[in-house]
Amino acid sequence: MIPATKSLQGEGAPPYFRSRSALSYCAPLLVNGIALPFFPVWLAGLNFGDREIGLVLAIPMVVRVLVVPIVGILADRVDERANVLFWSGALSLLTAIALYWTSDFWPVLLVYSIQGATYAPYVPIVESIAVSGVRRWGFDYGSMRVWGSIAFIFSTLIGGQMIGKWGGAMVLPTMIGGFVLTTMMAFFCPRIGPTRRRNQPINLQAPTGSGLRSPQLLISMIGVSVQQSSHAMMYTFASIYWRDLGFSGTQIAVLWSIGVTAEVMVFFMSRMLNRRFSAWMLIFFGSSMCVLRWILFPINLGFFGYFVLQCFHSCTYACVHTGIQRRIVASVQETQEASAQGAYFFYNGMFLGLMTLASGYLYAWLGLSSYYIMAGVAAFGLAMVIFARNLQPSGSAFGGRASEAS
């Protein structure tokens, strides 16, 4: 995803940095592999309506975006960013246990919102540590991040088998087990000390512009976040809709997993993509495919049709995520890495939360036609990124190589 060097790789790096970073991605995405597709099913089992499900999923997202930038700034200033992971995992574990004693709307909303706040910093902190490894020692980002996606696939497939056997009752126990792993993994995450400016891999462009104050970076992150927020309708109601179509728990798990499998393929191909395409081109292509994805989604395509459509996730998420991470690396110093990841998480979470909140009302009002609104949202995000690209100095070609236009 992010270019790496060969000459600096391994010099001064903590032992097994790549493996430990990969495992650090696996732990939280094991939780996400259960929560993302199946937590709405657990909520539906409590007899919550579409609007209530939308609220329970949306409010924690809003809470997260208020927490992550603050934690990101603090993480840039502490001696060891990985120490933040223990508190994030342990407090999240307590909230998952607390959900056992909640079944009414307001208690569930409160506890799940607290979980959103405590768990939110985990992945951005891991992301900042991994990207520091790219900067300092030239490790390949994709080879680390890909294992988190593989963990998501494994977790979702197992979850599909479990929900087919035990229904929504399996969600909380598996989430608790996942949070135990995230807490344990905090002790094995690489310790790399405070952020610094030097030892940046030689084939990464030195950060240009004014870093986090760059209008181009700001508009790019917001535009990508708007485009990503169009996934809210699918994240919230796809599993429920597929169950209504008669798909089994295993089939639903396969549909979720194939999307992430396609995403994994993009990460495995990241070096080739970096050589052939600029970051801007990856974002433009992924966002355009996102518009097409939501136009097609309301059509009853059957299991095979949705299988193919879920493969679009490789474009609508992975290509776009690849591009924006490269833009962040090209725009900020390492001393701002956690802050930049926190800022991106803020925008991403804020728009995703607002769109998730809106999706509950839109789905209750328009049903499947609400996906056409998601297509419009993705198109608007694409337009913002195109505007940001036009702020780039004219020396970089629109579709040039990564070396020409990161």
52's tokens:
């209530």
What is residue 337's predicted lDDT score, i.e. its pLDDT? 65
Asked whether residue 89 is domain-assigned, the answer is yes
Q: Which residue has the higher pLDDT, 231 or 139?
A: 231
* The pLDDT of residue 141 is above 90: no
Asked whether residue 2 is domain-assigned, the answer is no
Asked whether residue 226 is domain-assigned, the answer is yes
| 24-31 average pLDDT score | 90
What is residue 263's predicted lDDT score, i.e. its pLDDT? 83
Mean pLDDT of the chain: 83
| 289-296 average pLDDT score | 96
244's tokens:
């209504």
List the Cα angle 213/218/223 in 5-degree steps: 180
> How far is residue 251 CA from its own chain's centroid?
23
Pure H helices in 311-369: 313, 320-331, 337-366
Contact 242, 306 (CB under 8 A): yes
Q: Which residue has the higher pLDDT, 392 or 97?
A: 97
What is residue 195's predicted lDDT score, i.e. its pLDDT? 59
Question: Which domain CATH number covers 369?
Answer: 1.20.1250.20
Find all residues with CB under 8 Å of 105, minimum gap 6, and list them: 48, 52, 56
pLDDT, tens digit, 9 for 90 and up, residues 204-256: 344 444 556 678 888 999 999 999 999 999 988 898 889 889 898 889 989 98
Establish how many alpha carbons lie within 13 A of residue 231's alpha carbon, considering only the half-sphere containing its beta carbon: 25
Distances (CA, A) of 356 to 42, 57, 99, 230, 344: 17, 7, 21, 9, 18
Asked whether residue 404 is domain-assigned, the answer is no
What is residue 76's predicted lDDT score, i.e. its pLDDT? 67
What is residue 394's predicted lDDT score, i.e. its pLDDT? 47
Domain total of the chain: 1
Asked whether residue 402 is domain-assigned, the answer is no
Contact 37, 239 (CB under 8 A): yes
Asked whether residue 396 is domain-assigned, the answer is no
pLDDT, tens digit, 9 for 90 and up, residues 349-406: 889 888 988 988 898 888 899 999 999 999 999 999 999 888 865 444 444 443 434 5
Asked whether residue 133 is domain-assigned, the answer is yes
Asked whether residue 6 is domain-assigned, the answer is no
* Threshold 0.75, pTM exceeds: no
Domain span at 50:
17-194+210-389
